[in-house]
Structure 1
Amino acid sequence: MTTWESLYAKRASRMRASEIRELLKLLDRPDVISFAGGIPDPELFPAESFQKAYEEILGGPEAAKALQYGVSEGSLRLRTWIVAHMRELGVDCAPENILITSGSQQALDYLGKLFLSPGDTALVQWPTYLGAVQAFNAYELQFDRLDPGTNRAAADYAKKAEETGGRVKFAYLSPDFANPTGLTVGLEDRHRILALAENLSCAVVEDAPYESLRYDGDAVPPMLALDCQKTGGIENSRTLYCGSFSKSLSPGLRLGWICAASEVISRLVLIKQASDLNTPVLNQDAMARVAEREFAAHTARTNRIYRARRDAMLEALEKHMPEGCRWTRPEGGMFIWVELPAGCDAAELLQSSVERAKVAFVPGRAFHPDGSGANTMRLSFSCADERKIEEGVSRLARLIAETVTSKL
C-alpha cells in the first residue's frame, strides 16, 4: 500500500480545508435561517440575459471559436469591457494590463505563486479574508498584521520579516466592504498603505470583489487609481487589482481579473498557461455580452435589494442584541461583523445556535491568521429577506443573552 504522506511536498502540510466551506455543508437545512454564506442571492442572477447570450453565441458564427481553446490572457472583448470599467474607476489601462482568471480566487493563488518564496511575509488586515490566507499559505510564508492606523514603521515590518528568512513581498487588503468585517479603508489610510509599500519596496494586492456593491456614502478611489496618480500611470504602479464578476453578475461562471502593469501581467500569463491554459472562452463571451448590456442597471437593481437587507439587519441588531455586543455598520458589501462580550466563544455558540435557535453564522476565529477572535462572528445579509433577518437576529440575540447570563 502506498504511503502517500511520505510523498507529499512539505508545503502540503500547510494546506487546510476552508472552515467556512466545511461549515456550509452542514447548514444546508431548510429549517435553518442562514447568515453564514458570503454569496449573492441566486434569485437575483440575470439568468434570462445569460440564456440569451449563450443562445446567440452557440447559434451563430462564433460558436466554433467559443468552444475552442482561447488565448491565456483572456477574451479581448471581455478585457476591453474591463478596461472601460477600470477607467470609470479612475484607472487608465489597456487590454495588455488585464488577465482574465477563473474567479478572483485563482488570481490570489497566482499572485502567491509569483511573489512568495518560503519565509517571505505578507501583510494582511486582521481579521482578513480566509480564502486569501488559504491561497497564500501553500507558499510557506508568514503573515504580519497590516494596521495603517498604528503608524507602525516600515523598518519594524522589514526587521520582523528578515527574522523568518525572507522579506515583505506584498500588503494584501480588501479596501471596500471587506470580507469579513464589511469595513472600508478610508482615503487617508489608503495613502498610508501605499507609502508603506513604497518604503518596503513591496507590492499591494487590492482585492475588490465587492467594489460595485456600494449602498450609501461617497465612493473612495481604488488604491490602484491612487497609485497611478502618484506614480504617473499603471506601468509604474506597484498595486495589483483583483476584480470579480462573482458578486455582481454570477459566481458560477468563475470569472475574475487582475489589472496591473503589463510586465506583471506577462509573468502571470505564463502561470496561467502552465495551470489551466485559459479560462473557458464560452463563459467569457457570454459574460462580455451581459456586462455590456446591463452591468450598471443590474447592479443598481440588486443594490437596492441588498441595501434594504443591510438596513433590516442593522435595525434588528440594534433592537435585539444584548448589552456588550458591538457590530460594524458597512456602507456596502454583504457582511456585518459582530463582537460578542469577552468570554463568549462564537464557535461553541454556533452548535447551540443551529440546533436550538435554527440560525447559522460564521465564527470569526477562522479569519484571524493567529487563531484569535474567538468572541467574533460574521453575519451575511445577502441571501435572507427582511422577514427572515428580523426573525433570525431575534433568535440569535436571545441565545447570546442566555449564554452571557450563564457565564456570569
Structure 2
Amino acid sequence: MLNWEDIFATRSSRMKASEIRELLKLLDRPDIISFAGGIPDPALFPDQDFKAAYADIFSGAAVNAALQYSVSEGYKPLREWLVAEMGKIGVTCTADNVFIVSGSQQGLDYLGKLFLSPGDTALVTWPTYLGALQAFNAYEPTYDQLTLTGNRTPDSYRKAAQAAGGKVKFAYLSADFSNPTGETVDRAGREKLIDLADELDIAIIEDAAYQSLRYDGEAIPPILALELKRKGGDINHTRTIYCGSFSKTLAPGLRVGFVVANTEVIRKLVLMKQAADLHSSTINQMAIAHVAERGFEAQVQKIKAAYSKRRDAMLHALATYMPQGVRWTRPEGGMFIWVTLPDGVDGASLLAKAIEKKKVAFVPGKAFHADGSGANTFRMSFSCADEKTIDEGISRLGALIREETGAA
C-alpha cells in the first residue's frame, strides 16, 4: 500500500482543519442558534446591484474581456477605485501599489510564502485570526507573541528568533475590531509597532478586513497611513502591507480582496499569482467595481446600522444573563465579542454541552492561540442573528455556564 504520509512534504503536517469551517456546518441545522460563523448576513447583500452589474457586463462589449484571461495585477478600474478609497483614509498610492487577490485569505497565504522560510519567526497577537495561522503554518514558522504594551525589547524578539533557528520576518495583526476579540489597537500601539518594525527591520502585515465596520468611537488612521506620514508620504518607503477585502462589505462569495503596499512587494506577489492561478476572476472584479463605484458607501451604512444593533443586543444580553466571573470585550465595530470564562472552565467542553443541551454554538478560543493557550475563552459573532435570537441564545448560554460553574 502506498504510504502518502511518506510522500507529502513536511509542511503538510502543519495543515489542520479549521474549527470554524467545521462549525459552519451547524448553520444548516435549524434548531441551533449559532454565534460561531464570522460571516456577513446574506440578507444584507446588495444582490440586486450585483444582478444589474452582471447584466451590464453581459449586455455590452465588456463581456469579451470579462470572460478572457487578464493581467495578474487585477482589473485596473477596480484598482483605481481603491486608490481613491485609500486616499480617504490617509494612504496616498497609485494603481501600481494595489494588487487584487482571490479574497484577502489568498493575500495572507502569499505573504507567508513570500517572507517565511522554515524556522523563521512571525510575530502575532495572542489570540490572533485563525485563518492567518492556517495560512502561515504551511511555511513552517515559529510564532512569538506580539505585545504592544509592557517593556519587551526588540532585542528580545531577535534573540528568541535566533534561538528558534531563524529571523523575525514580520508582525501580523488586525488593528481594527480584530477577529477574534473585536478589540482595536490604539494610536499609541500602532506607533509603537512601527517603531518595533523599524528596529527589527521587518514587515508589518495589517489585516484590515473589518476597518469599514466602525459603529462608534473615533476612527484611528491605519498603520500604513501613520507610517506614510513618518516616511515623507512615499508608500515605496514603507514596510506596512495593507490587506483589505470586499467580503465583509459587499459579498464574500465573489472572493475579491486586495493588497496595498510598496511596489517591490507588489511585484513579488504578482509573480506568485502568475504561478498559482494567473489572475483573480475578471468578471467578479468587474462586478465588484460596478457595485462599489455606484453604492459602496450606502451599502456600508446599511450594514453598519444592522450590525451595531446586534452588537448592542449581545452586549446587553451578556450583561443580563452571564454569571459573575465571566468577562467579555466591548467592540466599537466588527462582528465579534470575545468571552473569557473563569479559570479552569474549558471552552471546547462547554461548546459540546452547549450544542447538546442548549442548542447554541460558538467558537472555542484555543484555536486562535499559536501557543495552544486560551482554553477558557471563546468567540461569538453577532452578525447573523437578530436581536430576539441573540437574547434567547445568550440566555441559554448563561444558564449553562451557571450550571457548570455554580456561579451566582
Q: Which residue is 1:146 aligned to?
A: 146
Matched position secondary structure for 1:196: helix
Matched position secondary structure for 1:128: coil
The one-letter code sitting in structure 2 at the alignment partner of 1:313 is: M
Q: Which residue is 1:255 aligned to?
A: 256
Deviation at 1:405, TM superposition (A): 1.3
- Asked if 1:321 is matched to 2:322, the reply is yes
Deviation at 1:28, TM superposition (A): 2.7
Q: Which residue is 1:52 aligned to?
A: 52
Q: Which residue is 1:169 aligned to?
A: 169
Contact 1:27 1:360 in 2 (8 A): no
Q: Any residues of structure 2 matched to 1:357-372 within 5 Å, and which?
A: 357-372=358-373
Cα offsets for 1:330-360 (capped at 9, x unmatched): 0000000000111111100111101111111
Q: Any residues of structure 2 matched to 1:236-251 within 5 Å, and which?
A: 236-251=237-252
Cα offsets for 1:191-219 (capped at 9, x unmatched): 00010000000000000100000000000
Q: Structure 1 CA distance, aligned partners of 2:157 and 2:263?
A: 28
Q: Structure 2 CA distance, aligned partners of 1:27 and 1:300?
A: 26
Contact 2:26 2:32 in 1 (8 A): no
Q: Which residue is 1:216 aligned to?
A: 216
Cα offsets for 1:111-165 (capped at 9, x unmatched): 0011111110000011000000000011010000001102310000000000111
Unaligned ranges ≥5, structure 2: none
Deviation at 1:2, TM superposition (A): 2.3
Deviation at 1:252, TM superposition (A): 0.3
Cα offsets for 1:18-66 (capped at 9, x unmatched): 1111222245310111100000000000000000000000111100110
- Asked if 1:22 is matched to 2:22, the reply is yes
The one-letter code sitting in structure 2 at the alignment partner of 1:328 is: T
Q: Structure 2 CA distance, aligned partners of 1:160 and 1:92?
A: 36
Matched position secondary structure for 1:252: helix
Matched position secondary structure for 2:29: coil
Q: Which residue is 1:300 aligned to?
A: 301
Q: Structure 1 CA distance, aligned partners of 2:246 and 2:69?
A: 21
Q: Which residue is 1:275 aligned to?
A: 276
Q: Which residue is 1:128 aligned to?
A: 128
Moved more, 12-21 or 104-113: 12-21
Q: Which residue is 2:396 aligned to?
A: 395
Q: Structure 2 CA distance, aligned partners of 1:50 and 1:257?
A: 19
**Greater than 4 Å deviation, 4+ residue runs:** none
Contact 2:336 2:380 in 1 (8 A): yes
Contact 2:57 2:66 in 1 (8 A): yes
Q: Which residue is 1:336 aligned to?
A: 337
Q: Structure 2 CA distance, aligned partners of 1:187 and 1:342?
A: 31
Contact 1:98 1:265 in 2 (8 A): yes
Query: Normalising by the residue count of structure 2, what TM-score does the alignment of the two structures yield?
Result: 0.99
Moved more, 116-125 or 17-26: 17-26
Deviation at 1:227, TM superposition (A): 0.7
Matched position secondary structure for 1:99: strand
Contact 2:26 2:34 in 1 (8 A): no
Contact 1:57 1:63 in 2 (8 A): yes
Q: Which residue is 2:89 aligned to?
A: 89
Length, aligned pairs only = 407
- Asked if 1:185 is matched to 2:185, the reply is yes
The one-letter code sitting in structure 2 at the alignment partner of 1:169 is: K
The one-letter code sitting in structure 1 at the alignment partner of 2:28 is: D
Q: Structure 2 CA distance, aligned partners of 1:185 and 1:375?
A: 23
Q: Which residue is 1:119 aligned to?
A: 119
Q: Which residue is 1:225 aligned to?
A: 225
Q: Structure 1 CA distance, aligned partners of 2:151 and 2:17?
A: 34
Cα offsets for 1:97-122 (capped at 9, x unmatched): 01100000000000001111111000
Matched position secondary structure for 2:252: coil
Contact 2:50 2:287 in 1 (8 A): yes
Q: Which residue is 1:350 aligned to?
A: 351
Contact 1:33 1:358 in 2 (8 A): yes
Q: Structure 1 CA distance, aligned partners of 2:230 and 2:40?
A: 35
Q: Which residue is 1:3 aligned to?
A: 3
Contact 2:23 2:37 in 1 (8 A): no
Deviation at 1:13, TM superposition (A): 1.1
Unaligned ranges ≥5, structure 1: none
Q: Structure 2 CA distance, aligned partners of 1:123 and 1:167?
A: 11
Q: Which residue is 1:39 aligned to?
A: 39
Matched position secondary structure for 1:183: coil
The one-letter code sitting in structure 2 at the alignment partner of 1:347 is: A
Matched position secondary structure for 1:148: coil
